[in-house]
Amino acid sequence: MTVDTTTAPLSLPMLALNLILGIGLSLIVAWYYHYFGTSLSNRSQFAPILPMLTMITLLVITIVKSSLALSLGLVGALSIVRFRTAIKDPEELIFLFFAIAIGLGLGADQRIPTLLAFAGIMLYLAVRAILARTRKGSHSLYLNVQIENDSDGSALFEQLNQLLLSEFRELDLRRLDHNHNVLQATYYLYIRDESALIRVMDKLRSKYPNSSVSLVEQNNLLGG
């Protein structure tokens, strides 16, 4: 049984149409990622890569789909490619797959399914961006308090909890260290009123002059 390895002719008008659609859709994705993404990386430098990735993927799929020999050659070529740069941010990886998926769909001449899927995904992203803006005044914070005091550790911890509960509805203790006369506690807080933090810091400074307070926004942590 022989396998037909002849190359089917490419339709240049369809290729041009797919490229135009790919550029348009990927530019929308890049614009959204640049202005609404939450990645810690430099989004202004990463976003322009997405349209190029879409067009390259589209071109590769358009070429190899017309020939079995080319598709087998592509598998062999990709098997020796090694990417040394690790993608540490999940959001970057998701938008990379989004750009690749657009190129795959248009390269396979599946324009209607690609456009429908693109519209559905962008609708979800738009709703998520709107909901994020409604929660703009809220923060997820790690509050680290260090107090130097000669009183008993358990009594000092109870006093600290009562002071914090006077401003916050609930506390989520993540770490507690007590070494001689130094008490260090780390809490996870979800707050909407930033003035509550100012009042807490004033109370701590007044009651424990030797205390120190540090705040870390959880949303800006790599593991957060």
Instruction: Give the length of the chain.
Output: 224
- Which pLDDT score, from 0 to 100, does residue 18 have? 92
- Which pLDDT score, from 0 to 100, does residue 223 have? 39
- Which pLDDT score, from 0 to 100, does residue 224 have? 40
Does this model's pTM top 0.75?
no
Percent of the chain past pLDDT 90, that is, above it, reads 22
- Which pLDDT score, from 0 to 100, does residue 71 have? 63
**58-62, 142-146, 203-207, 220-224: least confidently modelled range:** 220-224
- Which pLDDT score, from 0 to 100, does residue 85 have? 58
Taking residues 29-50, report their average pLDDT. Answer: 84
- Which pLDDT score, from 0 to 100, does residue 222 have? 40
* Packing angle of the helix pair 12-36, 111-134 (nearest 10 deg): 10
CATH architecture label of 139-220: 2-Layer Sandwich (3.30)
Confidence of residue 65 (pLDDT cuts 50, 70, 90): confident
Taking residues 22-50, report their average pLDDT. Answer: 86
Confidence of residue 3 (pLDDT cuts 50, 70, 90): very low
Q: Collect all residues with Cβ–Cβ distance below 8 Å to 21 and sequence separation of at least 6.
A: 106, 111, 114, 115
Does residue 60 register a pLDDT over 90?
Answer: no
- Which pLDDT score, from 0 to 100, does residue 1 have? 46
Q: Which two tokens stand for residue 89?
A: 């941010």
Taking residues 21-50, report their average pLDDT. Answer: 87
For 160-175, b where at least 16 C-beta lie within 10 A, e where not — what string?
A: beebbeebbeeeeeee
Tell me how far apart the alpha carbons of residues 39 and 93 are, in angstroms, rounded to a whole number: 10
Q: Which two tokens stand for residue 70?
A: 């080319």
Who wins on pLDDT, 8 or 121?
121
Confidence of residue 220 (pLDDT cuts 50, 70, 90): very low
Instruction: Provide the residue ranges of all domains of the chain, joining segments of one domain with +.
Output: 12-134, 139-220
pLDDT in tens, 98-133: 999 999 899 888 999 999 999 999 999 999 888 876
pLDDT in tens, 11-35: 788 889 999 999 999 999 999 998 8
